[in-house]
């Protein structure tokens, strides 16, 4: 399982990386963490003519929280950094909590958030998190920079809104309110495997104790990560509680568009997706209590 030949470049700036991909055309690919691309090359199902290695570009790294409380994560940030970084744990605990579910340590040591989003596996965790958090994906390419909302970024299985020659430079997460409840649950065949179905969720409550905002997204239940608007609508204005959560879970099932594969049928993903919505909401509601014992 040896990969086919390719030209290799290791630029140290975004500009030179963009110039290289322009120069080498359609069969050239960016190389981020390589944890998805290189297996495909070893199987010879991907055969880029050239690899432009982004690992040496310092400008693509970095984790900062700006004055507005927005979390900026450079595209080449390793998943392992997301798992261990204390700033991220505070600025977006949902993202932080999802990271350990991504494969295994050795993969997380190389895999990057930009790479995961660009690869757009429908069962991957990070696409689900950016969608549920309404993150923005900053992209740079021959036409300059642009900002793509997460909900518009994923177009299909392994397919994104990235145009030829574009790369993700940064992912920006909106501020995370202090009292927000959240949880992430996935079902996989083994720990670290791609999810058969997974749910990421959060909600905020107002001074009356009613749910004022909510976000729920499913992975593994469609061609892309899916927001679950029917469930979100069912939560808004309600006081959190078991009956409300059950109701929202039942509504969520209509938003799921799962397929079948050898690991799980569509029926399973749909059914268990609903179960996980309920569990996520219940766990989220217990979040302050969970925090207290942590």
Partner 1 sequence: MTASSPYIGRSVKRLEDRRFLTGTGRYIDDVKLPDMAVMAIYRSPHAHARIRSIDLSAAKALPGVIDAFCASDITMALPLIPLRLAPFKGFERFLQQPIARDKVRYVGEPVAVVIASDRYIAEDALDLIEVDFDPLPAVTSVDQAASGETLIHEDAGENMGTRYTVGRGDADEAFRNAPYTRRERFTTNRHGAVPMETRGMIAEFDPDTPLLRLHGATKVNFFNRRHLAAAFDLPEDAVELIETDVGGGFGARGELYPEDYLVPIASRRVRRPVKWTEDRRENLTATNHSRDIVCDLEIAATDDGRILGMRATVQGDMGAYVRTNGGVVASKAAQFLPGPYRVPSFSCDVQFLITNKTPVGTFRGPGRFEANFCRERLLDMVAADLNIDPAELRLRNLMEPAELPFRIGELVPGDVNATFDRGNYPSALNRMLDEVGYADWKDRQGEIIDGRAHGLGIACFIESSAAGPPETARIAVAPDGSIEIRTGASSVGQGTETGLAQICADYLVVDIDRIHVLHGSTTLVPSGGGTFHSRNTVMAGNAVRKAAEALRARSIELAALRWNTDAAGLEYRDGAVHRGDGGESVLSLTELAAFARSRGPDEALAADAAFDNEGKLSYSYGAHAALVAVDIATGVVEVKKYVLTEEIGRALNPAMVQGQAVGGLVQGLGGTFLDHMVYDQDGQLLTGSFADYLLPTSTELPEITAIALEESPSEFNPMGFKGAGEGGIVAVAAAVGNAVVHALNAHGIQINDLPITPDRLRAALRAAGA
Partner 2 sequence: MTEKHSLTLTVNGQTRRCEVEPRMTLADCLREKLDLTGTHLGCEHGVCGACTVIVDGAAIRSCLMFAVQAAGTEITTVEGLADGDELSVLQQAFHDNFALQCGFCTPGFLTTAETILKENPSPTRAEVQSAISGNICRCTGYVPIIDAILEAADRRRKGEK
Q: Are residues 161 and 148 in contact, defined by beta-carbon separation less than 8 angstroms?
A: yes
Residue count, binding to partner 2 (CB under 8 A): 33
Give the Cα separation of 248 and 270 in Å (integer).
14
Residue choice 13, 15, 22, 42 for contact with partner 2 (CB under 8 A): 42
**Which positions from 141 to 170 touch partner 2 by CB under 8 A, shown as an x/- string?**
------------------------------
Look at residue 239 and give the partner it binds from partner 1, partner 2, none, a contact being a CB closer than 5 to 8 Å depending on partner kind.
none
**Of the candidates 1, 75, 64, 62, the residue with the CA atom closest to the CA atom of residue 31:** 75
Look at residue 97 and give the partner it binds from partner 1, partner 2, none, a contact being a CB closer than 5 to 8 Å depending on partner kind.
none
Residue choice 28, 51, 135, 171 for contact with partner 2 (CB under 8 A): 51
Give the Cα separation of 76 and 61 in Å (integer).
5
- For residues 20 and 231, which CB has a smaller minimum distance to partner 2 in the complex? 20
- Name every residue whose Cβ is closer than 8 Å to that of residue 289 and which is 6 or more positions away in sequence: none
Look at residue 38 and give the partner it binds from partner 2, partner 1, none, a contact being a CB closer than 5 to 8 Å depending on partner kind.
partner 2
Q: Are residues 94 and 215 in contact, defined by beta-carbon separation less than 8 angstroms?
A: no
Give the Cα separation of 229 and 99 in Å (integer).
24
At closest approach, how far in Å is the CB of 174 from partner 1?
A: 31
- For residues 106 and 206, which CB has a smaller minimum distance to partner 2 in the complex? 106
Give the Cα separation of 93 and 122 in Å (integer).
22
**What is the sign of the dihedral through the CA atoms of 39, 29, 126 and 255?**
negative
Look at residue 55 and give the partner it binds from partner 1, partner 2, none, a contact being a CB closer than 5 to 8 Å depending on partner kind.
partner 2
* Strand partners of residue 203: 181, 214
Look at residue 107 and give the partner it binds from partner 1, partner 2, none, a contact being a CB closer than 5 to 8 Å depending on partner kind.
partner 2
Residue 9 lies near partner 2 (rule: CB under 8 A): yes
Binding site for partner 1 (CB under 8 A): 1-2, 4-5, 39, 43-44, 187, 189-194, 196, 262-265, 267-268, 271-272, 275-276
Residue 45 lies near partner 2 (rule: CB under 8 A): no
Q: If residue 150 lies in a helix (H) or strand (E), which one and from where to where?
A: helix 150-153
- For residues 32 and 195, which CB has a smaller minimum distance to partner 1 in the complex? 195
Residue 3 lies near partner 2 (rule: CB under 8 A): yes
* Strand partners of residue 100: none
Residue 43 lies near partner 2 (rule: CB under 8 A): yes
138: left (phi over 0), alpha (psi -120 to 50) or beta: beta
| 72's tokens | 């900026």
Give the Cα separation of 281 and 278 in Å (integer).
5
Residue choice 76, 77, 80, 127 for contact with partner 2 (CB under 8 A): 80
Could you identify the residue written with the tokens 């055309």? 25
- For residues 37 and 73, which CB has a smaller minimum distance to partner 1 in the complex? 37
246 alpha-carbon distance from chain centroid: 26
| 247's tokens | 């109701």
At closest approach, how far in Å is the CB of 134 from partner 2?
A: 30
Residues that bind partner 2 (CB under 8 A): 1-10, 34-35, 38-39, 41-43, 50-51, 53, 55, 80, 100, 103-107, 109-110, 190-192
């Amino acid at each position: 399982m040896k990969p086919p030949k390719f030209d290799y470049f290791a630029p140290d700036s975004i500009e030179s990386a963009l110039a290289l991909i322009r120069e080498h055309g359609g069969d050239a690919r960016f190389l981020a963490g390589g944890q998805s691309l290189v297996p495909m090359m070893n199987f010879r199902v991907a055969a880029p003519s050239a690899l432009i290695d982004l690992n040496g570009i310092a400008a693509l790294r970095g984790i900062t929280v700006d004055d507005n409380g927005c979390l900026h994560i450079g595209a080449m940030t390793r998943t392992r950094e997301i798992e261990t970084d204390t700033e991220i744990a505070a600025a977006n605990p949902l993202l932080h909590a999802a990271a350990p579910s991504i494969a295994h340590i050795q993969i997380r040591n190389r895999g990057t958030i930009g790479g995961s989003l660009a690869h757009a596996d429908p069962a991957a965790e990070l696409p689900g998190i950016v969608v549920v958090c309404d993150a923005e994906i900053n992209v740079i390419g021959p036409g300059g920079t642009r900002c793509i909302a997460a909900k518009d970024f994923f177009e299909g299985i392994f397919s994104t809104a990235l145009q030829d020659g574009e790369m993700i430079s940064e992912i920006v997460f909106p501020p995370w309110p202090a009292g927000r409840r959240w949880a992430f649950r996935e079902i996989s065949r083994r720990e670290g495997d791609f999810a058969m179905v997974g749910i990421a969720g959060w909600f905020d409550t107002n001074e009356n104790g009613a749910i004022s905002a909510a976000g729920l997204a499913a992975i593994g239940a469609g061609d892309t990560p899916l927001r679950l608007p029917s469930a979100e609508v069912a939560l808004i204005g309600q006081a959190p509680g078991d009956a409300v959560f059950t109701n929202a879970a039942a509504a969520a099932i209509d938003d799921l568009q799962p397929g079948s594969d050898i690991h799980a049928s569509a029926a399973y993903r749909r059914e268990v997706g609903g179960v996980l919505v309920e569990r996520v909401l219940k766990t989220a509601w217990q979040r302050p209590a969970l925090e207290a014992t942590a």
